[in-house]
Amino acid sequence: MTPKKASKSKSSQPPQSDSDGPIAAQRTLSGHQLVCLSTARMILSEMERDTNDTLNTFIHLVTEGWQYPGSACSRVTIENLCVQSVNFLETPWKLSSDVVTSEGKVGHLEVCYLEEKRKLDEGPFRYSERMLIDALADELSVFAQRLRVRRVVVQQQRELELYASLLRHDLRNDLGVILSNVDLLRMITSKSDGDVQQCLTSIEAVSGRMMNLLKALGRPLGSIERNIAALVRAVSIQAEQAFSGMKVNVVVDEGAEGLRVEESRLLPAVFDNLLRNAGAHAGPTAIVQIHVSRVAGYAQIVVSDNGPGIPESVRDKLFQKGVSTTGGGLGLYLSREIVAGMGGSIELIEPEKGCGATFRIRLAALS
């Protein structure tokens, strides 16, 4: 929606002109003015271009919509940017319009004639030219709003990367301390104490899994596992080490062994979360079945456990933020966001006989 514009110094009705007589009929844009506006809109929509380049192209197009383009010059100011045509000169024969966003006035657009012209509706300008400059300023308002959104996104991305770097550094150090203490406890604890050794193995596996996630966040995309079968197998091995007594059976159809999906640093966390849930709810001897197959153009992964399943009361809102079987859940919500970001889907499906919670994930297959 076009931002509401501030009031401009213009009359609501075209005035009478002594030289031309009434020009009240000229209340719509002419053909070449419509072309000018349409082209300007197209130029300003190309947000991938450099901003100065976009505004330079725009400002040299603007004067084509005026009755004397050879004698016209223009200038646009948006926040701290000011771009003008090469022949710009501020003269008494000027038409201007404010650039307004939700933040208020952020700039203005000006068109000047370099020499005096006959008097028309608003000085030497026609009423249709007032309409045109206002319409162009509206397009600049939308452009300025997009620039602001892009700056916010870039800033948020920068802060997120910084936060991720700090998180990786601090958590990696803390996990390093935990793993060092595990090694120390192994040395001073009797090897015959199987329960203690198993507990240390579980702590080591959980810490190692967290370390792998931190490494994944800092890993370049080109080095990330894209073979879905290999990725699922690697996550399953870590889960078996982290949860004493858990058994994960991975079955990969013959036609799915080479399936690749889009690169994602966070995709392993989706399977890790499902296996963690199985370990928490299916008891000390959790058994998880994972079936990887190709369905049309998708890699399909079905994960089911031997637990009690999902209570009917939370099924419909299971993937909402803060919902879980125990309350305060984020895992399935984040899993859905990760998969959706890859153009895929995750859903709870009816389990086969003898199975508990069953989830089906579909990701676009690349091969």
pLDDT of residue 70: 92
Q: Domain 189-364 falls in which CATH fold?
A: Heat Shock Protein 90 (3.30.565)
Q: What pTM value is reported for the model?
A: 0.49
Q: Are 63 and 72 in contact (CB under 8 A)?
A: yes
Q: Looking at the structure, give the CATH architecture of the domain made up of residues 31-152.
A: 2-Layer Sandwich (3.30)
pLDDT of residue 9: 43
pLDDT of residue 10: 42
Per-domain residue ranges for the chain? 31-152, 189-364
Q: How many CA atoms lie within 13 A of 160 on its CB side?
A: 7
Find tokens 């038409």 and name the residue: 95
21-30, 233-242, 328-337: segment of lowest average pLDDT: 21-30
pLDDT of residue 338: 87
Q: How far is CA 101 from CA 79, 84, 138, 228, 230, in A?
A: 11, 21, 9, 46, 50
Question: Which has the higher per-residue pLDDT, 280 or 21?
Answer: 280
Positive/negative CA dihedral, 211, 217, 220, 222: positive
Range with the largest mean pLDDT of 265-274, 291-300, 326-335: 291-300
Find tokens 């080479």 and name the residue: 258
Q: How far apart (Å, rounded) are the C-alpha atoms in residues 124 and 115?
A: 10
Range with the largest mean pLDDT of 9-23, 318-332, 351-365: 351-365
Helix (H) or strand (E) holding 51: helix 51-62
Mean pLDDT of 246-272: 90
Mean pLDDT, rounded, of the chain:
81
| DSSP-based three-state secondary structure for 27 | coil
**What percent of the chain is predicted at pLDDT more than 70?**
82
Q: Are 357 and 351 in contact (CB under 8 A)?
A: yes
- What are the tens digits of pLDDT across the range 10-24? 444 444 444 443 333
DSSP letter at 125 equals B
Label the pairing between strands 247-252 and 287-295: parallel
Range with the largest mean pLDDT of 30-44, 166-180, 213-227, 274-288: 30-44
